Structure 1
Amino acid sequence: MCMDRVAAMTTITAIPTERRRQMLAPHSLLQLIWLASPALPVGGFSYSEGLEAAIEWAGVKDEASAADWLAGQLRLSLARGDLSVVAQAISAWSAGDLGRVQALNDWVRQTRESAEFLLQTEQMGRSFVEWLKLHHADAAACFAELPPTYPVAFAFAAARAGASAQDGCLAFAFGWAENMSAAAIKAVPLGQSAGQRILARLAKEIPAAVEAAMALPDDRRQSFSPMLAILSARHETQYSRLFRS
């Protein structure tokens, strides 16, 4: 066993020099962990993003169906929309390209397919900027003429933390996965262990989703998810609901 531990330690320390140079500085890594935390006071925990409606009308009834539904949302909706915006907005904020930031922000607002989804991105964006003002002196000025959406506000914070577009997207996606796993626990309902298994599955699929999002050109980025939009619209008048609409 001792020899196994020595071998493992040797493997851990034998990280190529080039890889070590690419690693985030401790401060930047902690900033990204903070940004992905459900404890961040931006209200993400209060939305189910169609999941609560899917439980009533789209056959989500247990751990397996909830995991499948969320994995599909990750690949078909998040990766082709918000994750692509985050990747491009991080680069734009880092380059000081405010025109590009504005265009991405406008795209998010104009492509939300339900009133509920628009409310969510605007409310979380505003809350995120209020939090940012406590930590970044230039946040108020940067958003003075920009009614922020959540992906664009998140990208600002990731860029200020020195994160690459890939690392920022990974953090954004994991924060989404944590919130949605928690929503499944409350709404299906499921136990904590089931929620952790769902989160583990999403975590395995996030890297591929991020890679796909980063490869999308502008003319391929889209938020066309008709069934998700229908479920979100139906959630607005769902008789009994736990989450905000």
Structure 2
Amino acid sequence: MGTVTTTTITMGDGGMADAGLLQVLWIASPALPVGGFSYSEGLEAAVDAGVVSCEDSAARWLVDQLHLGLSRSDLAVVAQAIPAWREDDVERIRALNCWVLTTRETHELRLQTEQMGRSLAEWARALGELGQGLTQRLNRAQLAPPTYPVACACALASSPAGLRSSLLGFAFGWAENLVQAAIKSIPLGQSAGQRILARLAREIPAAVDHALSLDDDRRQAFTPMLAILSARHETQYSRLFRS
């Protein structure tokens, strides 16, 4: 056998940018084992009620959910939690986590954020040394339980990627999950799903900019129609998804 040579690579600015981008893609990927694929966030209930029934209505529903829901709540929380994690501001992190828990408008939406937050923490532990830093930060914060936006912000905070890039990744991961939910629940073909995803991709930068502009007084989680449909979904006769 030949001799194995270990080479130490010093990354320049481009290397750091690449590492940051890859880490954001990894954390935001629907393939991350946090259970995101099992939730439709009210979309399945909207299909059952006839509010969403085709490609166009699904696209409009998800664009509205992006701007009226995600951008003003979870995306804004991630925007504020990433710098808090980087500054080790535990009190701020706990306050944001508490806000997420208290603003879930239905039981199943609260269970979703709790389950996905716990699963992300378990994923970090399963990585061993690779996830040790993330595990230590989550343990030190003593979140009971960690919500998904705050736990995901913790993972993103360890990346050298910029704040806006991290939010773009978070939002696109959300969009991929919900487009798959639309494909399965309406149902739609893959081409229709890709057209919806393309429309969401055009809308995401503006949603991220809005999230970045919000402070505590302007951050909100108030989507009455979504809350009603989510509450109905809890007793829906036949379901593919957990929300």
TM-score normalised according to structure 2 size: 0.89
Is the Cα–Cα contact under 8 Å of residues 88 and 165 in structure 1 kept in the other structure?
no
SS in 2 for 1:96: coil
Alpha-carbon displacement from aligned partner over 1:27-55 (angstroms, at most 9, x marks no partner) = 11111111121110000000000000001
Return 126-135 or 205-214, whichever deviates more.
126-135
Quote the residue 1:136 is aligned against.
Answer: 131
Task: State which of 154, 158, 174 in structure 2 corresponds to 1:160.
Answer: 158
Structure 2 residue identity aligned to 1:203: A
* Alignment partner, residue 55 of structure 2: 63
Deviation at 1:137, TM superposition (A): 1.3
Question: What pairs with 1:191-206 in structure 2 (closer than 5 Å)?
Answer: 191-206=189-204
Long gaps (5+) in structure 1:
1-19
Shift in alpha-carbon separation, 1:93–1:22, aligned structure 2, 3 A:
farther
Structure 1 segments of 4+ aligned residues over 4 angstroms from their partners: 20-24
2:20 corresponding residue in structure 1 = 28
| Candidates 169, 172, 186, aligned match of 2:170 | 172
Number of the residue aligned with 1:233: 231
Q: How does 1:32-111 map to 2 (within 5 A)?
A: 32-111=24-103
Distance 1:23 1:171, change over 3 A: farther
Letter in 2 for 1:125: G
Q: Distance in 2 between matches of 1:23 and 1:121?
A: 33
SS in 1 for 2:222: coil
- How big is each residue's C-alpha offset from its partner over 1:116-144, in whole Å with a ceiling of 9 and x where there is no partner? 10000000000001112223213333223
Q: In the alignment, which residue of structure 2 is the partner of 1:4?
A: none
Q: Residue type of the partner of 2:227? A: A
Q: How high is the sequence identity, in percent, across the aligned residues?
A: 63
Q: In the superposition, relative to structure 1, how do residues 187 and 114 fare at CA in structure 2: closer, same or farther (>3 Å)?
A: same
Q: How many residues align?
A: 226
Kept in 2, the 8 Å contact 1:82–1:151? The answer is yes
Give the TM-score normalised by the residue count of structure 1: 0.89
For 2:212 and 2:20, the matched residues in 1 are separated by: 21
Pair 1:205–1:23, CA change in 2 (3 A): farther
* Matching residue of 1:8: none
CA distance in 2, matches of 1:45, 1:217: 30
Q: Deviations over 1:178-233 (max 9, x none)?
A: 00000000000000000000000001000000000000011010001111011111
Aligned partner of 1:219: which letter?
Answer: D
Q: Aligned pair in 2 of structure 1 residues 24, 76: CA closer, same or farther (>3 Å)?
A: farther
- Separation of aligned partners in 2, 1:66 and 1:236: 21
Q: Which residue pairs with 2:216 in the alignment?
A: 218
Q: CA RMSD in A?
A: 1.6
Opposite residue 97 of structure 1, the aligned amino acid is D
Q: Does 1:122 align with 2:120?
A: no
Shift of 1:23: 9.2
